[in-house]
Structure 1
């Protein structure tokens, strides 16, 4: 395990502990959830590390399902850190006709494209391709079968939580080509301003109010959407509510990571210096 002279990866300070009323014990939380909250790993990864004996709480070996206080000292063995450094995050420009996750209705998942021959020749990562990189490689967010653009596939639970966790504030940017009634050109000129305002704020899906969105015209037939949530087919369903028909949808940015010139159907590694 981590030697006594090595600093722990995380040690909560008293100011970070949940304050409990006088005379009552401090609130506790499951260890795997606490580790995920601290950004150390995903819950599943935490359970794996605990099972391997790679986690200590206040100096003692951790056990599965252990409750911990907010100020508990959590130490992680260097083997876990080394395993985590080997995990990959891949950016792919998903084509139309591929699903984001599991194969369905005869359509292949986007991960099927993650093969050496499809790696973008301008990918400057020193990472070498290996079949082990496909193990546990999962989409961090959806992209409809009839949409194209930036899709993130990752083995790293920290990345997944950052992008699709309940408390995620990561922006996703889309370019959306639309028509309005019989019009397919200069939709901007005839589309009511009050309906554009509704796209920005005021619509609901599945009985829940949508968070405010940035929606602006890029050109007379194309809108730019910036969202901080990702309900199923959200943009298409939003547009339907105001009379717009989506004829093309492309995701061009997630957080600070842009699709850039990555060709359709090709992929690259997330570079070490890139952050969402």
Structure 2
């Protein structure tokens, strides 16, 4: 005799909606909000399939809440390549933005959810060798404000350069480098925002540029006759690294503004 066919698994959202009961959209919100467990494990994908024998439970503290667009701050390590394109693949973000790499000092109170890593926009990307502050956001307004080359958002960099014989004691040469870095750059007939530059140490420069365009710092250093050995972005607008360890990330706080 043929055994009875095993029932087909059904979508988790449908199962939960029938079980509570509630609307399908509310079920999807509970699931995406990280409030639902299948056999004791949190499942955040409403489209996930479950069998009749599996136990589906809703957290006693569950509440319906909208998933607001989030912005993430990350301290990019040197050598870490960024994905091509403006939208970051969920898989790439999921590998780096984990609970283990979340900044222990994150004061946002936001629960880490997979939905927060969906369709993140990469804002003001950097070259693989560069390190420092990176921004990923689901908020199109934030992305436009930070990325727009005509914006007044200031990028602050620490630039390490290769040493030159006698540079430390050559005040005239050091002054000439700063003056060159602060001269206007023209691109396609347009004057780019001027850089503010100063020495931080013998082989370390601080540079700050409003509305910086990709490659501008490298071009300025090359024009000044200095060779870059490393670059770290310390700040974008009013948001800085502020003790965020290399490789770790945090949520942008509700009151923080670029």
TM category, shorter: 0.5 to 0.7
Q: Distance in 2 between matches of 1:242 and 1:90?
A: 35
Residues 236 and 194 (structure 1), Cα distance of their counterparts in 2 relative to 1, 3 Å cut:
same
Deviation of 1:232 after TM superposition, in Å, equals 2.2
Residues 245 and 116 (structure 1), Cα distance of their counterparts in 2 relative to 1, 3 Å cut:
same
Deviation of 1:109 after TM superposition, in Å, equals 6.1
Residues 163 and 188 (structure 1), Cα distance of their counterparts in 2 relative to 1, 3 Å cut:
farther
Q: Which residue of 2 aligns with 1:193?
A: 175
Query: TM-score when scaled to structure 2?
Result: 0.66
Q: Distance in 2 between matches of 1:162 and 1:261?
A: 24
Structure 1 residue 247 corresponds to structure 2 residue 246: no
Contact 2:155 2:233 survives alignment (8 Å): yes
Deviation of 1:258 after TM superposition, in Å, equals 1.2
Structure 1 residue 137 corresponds to structure 2 residue 145: no
Q: Distance in 1 between matches of 2:104 and 2:152?
A: 32
The 3-state SS of whatever aligns with 1:214 is: strand
Contact 2:78 2:128 survives alignment (8 Å): yes
Residues 132 and 164 (structure 1), Cα distance of their counterparts in 2 relative to 1, 3 Å cut:
same
Q: Which of 128, 142, 153 in structure 1 is aligned with 2:111? A: 128
Deviation of 1:125 after TM superposition, in Å, equals 1.2
Structure 1 residue 214 corresponds to structure 2 residue 203: no
Deviation of 1:202 after TM superposition, in Å, equals 2.7
Q: Which residue of 2 aligns with 1:230?
A: 212
Task: Output the aligned Cα RMSD.
Answer: 2.7
Q: Which residue of 1 aligns with 2:7?
A: none
Q: Distance in 1 between matches of 2:66 and 2:236?
A: 22
The one-character-per-residue Cα deviations of 1:155-185 (angstroms, maximum 9, x if unpaired) are 00111111112541111111111125x4496
Structure 1 residue 203 corresponds to structure 2 residue 147: no
Q: Which runs of 5+ in 2 are unaligned?
A: 1-63, 86-90
Structure 1 residue 116 corresponds to structure 2 residue 99: yes
Contact 1:201 1:210 survives alignment (8 Å): no
Structure 1 residue 177 corresponds to structure 2 residue 160: yes
Structure 1 residue 148 corresponds to structure 2 residue 131: yes
Structure 1 residue 263 corresponds to structure 2 residue 258: no
The 3-state SS of whatever aligns with 2:69 is: coil
Q: Distance in 2 between matches of 1:190 and 1:111?
A: 50
Q: Distance in 2 between matches of 1:227 and 1:237?
A: 13
Alignment length (residue pairs):
190
Contact 2:193 2:212 survives alignment (8 Å): no
